[in-house]
Amino acid sequence: MFNLHYKLEKYSIRFAVAIILVAAVGGIVEIAPLFTIDETVEQDPNMRVYTPLELAGRNIYIREGCYACHSQMIRTLRDEVERYGHYSLAVESQYDHPMLWGSKRTGPDLARVGEKYSDAWHVRHLTNPRAVVPESVMPSYTWLEKDLRTKDLGQHLAALRKVGVPYTDAMIEHAAQDAYGQANPDSDAAAGVEERYGEATHIRSFDGDSRKTSEMDALVAYLQILGRLSDAATQTPPSAAPSTAESSVTEEAPDGN
């Protein structure tokens, strides 16, 4: 069978190579320059990374497919800026592996939903959206009260560090403990979270039950931080002089090209 003496015929090989060459250019031209772009987009040295609890929440967001209905990318259009807040900046998702910009808004954009509602609202809404918004078509997430798996969060942070997120050794080492501490403000572990992730970090029992760290804690912690990891957006002039609804807020893109 695998007659290796069947030398692959030259004509079809050349043809295959031609296909690759012709197809590859477009991708290379558009993608390659983006890898030098870090230097040209806005920067925010104060941007913080996700805490282990928020990261776990983000992974639940991915697991449940929230991205199928919710975008996290406010476009540079007047109506979007008025509805959802300052348009999203590239820097704000620089630690998002992968990004969750989304492509469909069955539900509203969530890029800046952080602190828009109380924790209790989120818990009630996630458990049964129709209890809060009667006409909602969002699914009920009744299975999030179970214990959050925290023991391998350190490995998660380490993997993220490999792809470029600046987690420190201390963060990786204390990941599980920090996840616990962030949702249990009265515990000894809480202080470490503030020390490693900054004073602005939310440290509280997100699901209202401080006896355990649940998946609900993690998901709500994540939702409450959306749009708040960086203050780049509040520092660049916001929706300056929005023109018509049709035209974009910034005719020039953030990179000035």
The residues that touch ligand HEM, with contacts defined as CB under 6 A, are 68, 103-104, 106
Contact 90, 44 (CB under 8 A): no
187 binds, among ligand HEM, ligand HEC, another protein, none (CB under 5 to 8 A by kind): none
Give 19-79 as a 3 state SS string.
Answer: HHHHHHHHHHHHHHHHHHHHHCCCCCCCCCCCCHHHHHHHHHHHHCCHHHCCCCCCCCEHH
Q: In this structure, what is the dihedral angle of CA atoms 71, 72, 74, 75, given to the nearest 10 degrees?
A: -70
113 binds, among another protein, ligand HEC, ligand HEM, none (CB under 5 to 8 A by kind): ligand HEC
129: contact with ligand HEC by CB under 6 A: yes
Pick 58 or 196: Cβ nearer ligand HEC: 58
Candidates 48, 49, 85, 93: give the one binding another protein (CB under 8 A): 93
How far apart are the C-alpha atoms of 209 and 121, rounded to whole Å?
Answer: 14
199: contact with another protein by CB under 8 A: no
Pick 199 or 252: Cβ nearer another protein: 252
Pick 65 or 238: Cβ nearer ligand HEC: 65
**Binding window for ligand HEC (CB under 6 A); candidates: 5-13, 19-27, 57-65, 173-181:** 57-65
- What is the footprint of ligand HEC within residues 216-245 (CB under 6 A)? 219, 223
Residues 6+ apart with CB under 8 A from 28: none
Determine the Cα angle at 43 with ends 42 and 47, to 5°: 130
Retrieve residue 105's tokens. Answer: 């808004």
Contact 183, 193 (CB under 8 A): no
Q: How far is the CB of 168 from ligand HEM (least distance, A)?
A: 37
Contact 221, 182 (CB under 8 A): yes
Candidates 50, 61, 95, 197: give the one binding ligand HEC (CB under 6 A): 61
Contact 57, 206 (CB under 8 A): no
- What is the footprint of ligand HEC within residues 152-211 (CB under 6 A)? none
Pick 18 or 68: Cβ nearer ligand HEM: 68
213: contact with another protein by CB under 8 A: no
* Chain residues in the site for ligand HEC (CB under 6 A): 61, 64-66, 68-70, 106-108, 110, 113, 116, 129, 133, 136-139, 141, 219, 223
